[in-house]
Each structure stands twice: as C-alpha cells, then as structure tokens.
Chain A
Amino acid sequence: MDTNLERLRRQKEKMPSYREVLELAEKILLEKQQVKAQDSFPPLKMDPMKVRIQMEEGFPYLRPGEIPLSSTRMEDYFLRMLNLLKEQNPARHEALMKKISARGAGFEHFLHILLENRLTESGLSEEFGEEGSLLFFFIVQALKPTLEVQAGNWRKEQKEFAWNYGYCPFCGGLPGMGEIRGKEGKRVLHCSLCATEWDFPRMKCPYCQNEDQEKFTYFQVEGETEYRVDICLHCKRYLKTVDSRDRDELPDWEVEDYLTLHLDHLAQEEGYARPFELFIGVR
C-alpha cells in the first residue's frame, strides 16, 4: 500500500485537473490505513456449513444482519474524513456541515438508512444538493476499514473456492476495478467495498453476466497501455482494468481508481455507465 500511495503522490503532479481530488484521496487512504492498524475488530462468528451452502447457491458470506458494524469506529473515521475536507476545502466543508445540522441527524442515522437501502446518492443529491455526493461518499467510505479487515480475516480462512459471480463473495459489493494479473493473464476483480479480490472470467460481464463475445470491447488511451476500460455493449456499463503483468508490486485498486479518473470521463463521454450498489448479493 505504501508503494501505491507513493505512486499516487508522484502521479498527481501529472494530473493537475484532479489535483484537489487526489490530495484529499491520499489523506483519506492514509487515514484508513491508520484506522485499520489501530482498531481491533470483533471476529465474525458463523456456522461454516451454513456459509458453504449459502456460497454454493451464489449468496455471499455476509448476510443481512450479520454485517459486523461498529458504528463508533465508523463514525470516528467519518469525522476524520470531515476534518480532512475542512483542511482541504473549508467552504465545501462548511456547506456540508450546515446541511447535516439542518437535517438534525448524525452519522448513525445516515448509516442506518444506507444499510436499509433507503439512502442513495441521487436521493442525497436532491436533499443536499452538490454536497450530497460527498456525504454519500464519506458514509460509504466509513464502512471500509471494518469490512476490509473482516474480509481479510475471512480470506485467510478460505482455501480454494469457486465463485463465478460479478459481486463480491464476502460482502456482495460490486467490483471497483478489474486487474489482469500474472503471467497467465487471469482476470481478478476488486470489491469496491471490502477490497476482496476474486477470479472472474475474462469473457464475461460482471454486471449482466453476458458471455457473448460480440458484445465485448475495450478501449485504451494511446500511450497508456497498462490501463484499459472493459465495456459490455449489452448492458452499456464499463469496468476500468489495470494490467499489472509488467509491474513489480500488486496494485491497490483504490489508488488506481483515482489515477484513472480521466478514463471515467472518457467512458462516460462514450455513453457507458459505472454502476455502484451496496451489498448487491445479500439482498
């Protein structure tokens, strides 16, 4: 991760348009590292037999109600992120805080309705205007340290497992980015919520399960051969993918996500969408 954060630091000089985003992102990611390192997270207690059957049927490891939430820890990270925003962009911070105060609700309230699928980015945008996306981002981000640690513990216990779905086998989140890895060129998907990685066929859309090769294409920006944007012409969605075969270090998907913001712009300009939904497989 440190090497990856270093990469983010170096590359941001080359991306002046996104400098403010990258600076804040770097601080948020650093903060997440610290939260993960300092906190101890309650272990998950689940019946292995039940979990095995669940997963064979395509249900992720976590089930509703079993998500190990520690709202104190999450709120702590949430507040730390708000502080970072204050340092980075005081005006935006003030506007956001005013709207949160006007709502008269705290982090726990937002988290609660988020997990009940009643809090959406578009809903927040209606109520909170421009700051809605930011609030949504912070609340979702606040879930990550806990989920990442728990997912890491879970992965250590898993031996080989077959998982052929486009959502995360641990938390049910959608992939944040794809990776082509190793000398065999296997495709690995990275969960946008808990950072779990799982193998997925190259010729399959993680969003709509399409396997018709005629409906796949990818584009690259000239001179940037390590990145590609995989496109499914069937569902019109895209997934950014990093080809790590020529790299010494495995990439961190969040860092790569920030470093390829221009690819989001290009993909959306081409008419493709990037989907996001929480815990898709557990509902």
Chain B
Amino acid sequence: MDLTRRGFLKISGATALTGGLGISLVPRAAHAQPSKIVYTKETTTICPYCSVGCGIIVHTRDGKIVNTEGDPDHPVNQGTLCPKGASLYQLSDNTNRLSKPLYRAPYAKEWKEVTWDWALDKIAENIKKDRDASFLLKNEKGETVNRTEAMASVGTAAMDNEECYLYQKFLRGLGLVFIEFQARI
C-alpha cells in the first residue's frame, strides 16, 4: 500500500495542540536556543570477523564512524553480537592499534619501527629462504608432492571471498600445505 500520493495533513499530536493554542513552535526561551543539530547516517554492513555473517548498523557523521551496533532486523544475529563484533567500532577508532610495522630481530629484546617497504621485503626474503631450504619435491614413497612443511598460514577472517581465493592460490603456489583459518583470535 503506497502512501506517497496521499494528501497528509501537516500537523498532528502535540504540534496540533500547540498550533491550536496559538503558540509558535519556535522556542522563545533558553530550552532550544539555537540548538546545534548533528546529522548522522546509518548504513548496514556484515561483520568482517567470522563466517557467521552477523548484520551490523554503522553510524557515520561527516564520513567518520561514530558508532556500530548489531542490526536488529538481520536474520542471523537479530541485533546481538559477540564481544569482538560488538567492538567493531575499534576497527576504525582505536589508539592502541598498531599503525606502523614493528620488527624484532632474532635474539633482540626490543621492537623497532620499520617502513612498510622494508617489512614487506624482509617477509619476502624470509619466505624465499625458508621455502627454498625446506622444499620437498617427492615424499618418502617417491611420489611428487612439491611442498614445504616449514611454513604455515593462519588466514584472516577479515578477508572477503575473492581475497581468500587469491591468498589461498598464492600459498598453494609457494607449496604450503598447512593452511588454516582463524575466526576469533
């Protein structure tokens, strides 16, 4: 039933009584003196953390996230969230999150700040070194396996389907067989 074309009356309830008494809605006194109003937008999304796929409502103000809450109309979680999902807001606003890569050299006690370029090169270098040193062409029975058992991957729940596909493809290409998933770490 579409209500858009109906001729609604302009006033109702409390505003009708106000108008009827000849009182302007415009406040004269302190209560709502130029009240500063703040607009917020709601957008639904799916929690990125695990495969349950809970619905979340994200509140944004001037493009910045100001709140997140469980979506009461989502059939999976009906407004509820686990502790990790309930703190999703901190994904965008959390001063305790690392914002730069840190590196601790073998046997070193301290972490030091490094650049992303340096960190990615270092990771690639270590992967290459370990993979080459541990790569098995054949198993004990002489069957071709082309794998490394020296490395494992614990995947992230924050990746989407396509990212998971590419990541898994990349790991298989390296010869990894210990490929796992984490949901709530």
Contact = CB atoms under 8 A, between A and B. Distances in A.
Do A and B form a real pair? Answer: yes
Interface of A: 14-18, 20-21, 24-25, 28, 58, 89, 92, 120-122, 130-137, 140, 165-167, 174, 176, 182-187, 192, 201-203, 207-209, 213, 216-222, 228, 235, 237, 254, 257-258, 260-262, 264-266, 268, 270, 273-277, 280-281
Given A133-B20, A201-B73, A274-B11, A220 B78 contact: no
B133 interface: no
Contacts of A174: 12
Given A14-B31, A261-B25, A216 B42 contact: yes
Contact of B14 (A166, A182, A222, A261): A261
Contacts of A217: 39-42
A264 B25 contact: yes
A186 B37 contact: no
B16 A21 contact: no
Nearest to A276: B12
A127 to B, nearest CB: 14
A275 B41 contact: no
Contacts of B29: 16-17
B102 interface: no
Given A17-B23, A186-B73, 13 more contacts: A15-B31, A18-B18, A21-B23, A25-B17, A121-B9, A130-B22, A134-B16, A218-B39, A237-B8, A261-B18, A261-B25, A262-B25, A265-B27
Contacts of A237: 8
Interface of B: 1-4, 6, 8-23, 25-32, 35-44, 57, 69-73, 78-80
A26 B150 CA distance: 77
A66 B72 CA distance: 35
A39 B98 CA distance: 67
A262 B79 contact: no
Given A15-B31, A89-B21, A220-B40, A277 B9 contact: yes
A132 B20 CA distance: 7
Contacts of A274: 10-12, 15
A203 B73 contact: yes
Contacts of B38: 219-222
Nearest to A14: B31
Contacts of A213: 42-44
Nearest to A203: B44
Contacts of B39: 217-219
B31 A221 contact: no
A122 B9 contact: yes
Contacts of A222: 35-38
A167 B1 CA distance: 10
A257 B20 contact: no
A192 to B, nearest CB: 6
B8 A130 contact: no
B42 A218 contact: yes
A174 B13 CA distance: 11
Contacts of B44: 203, 213
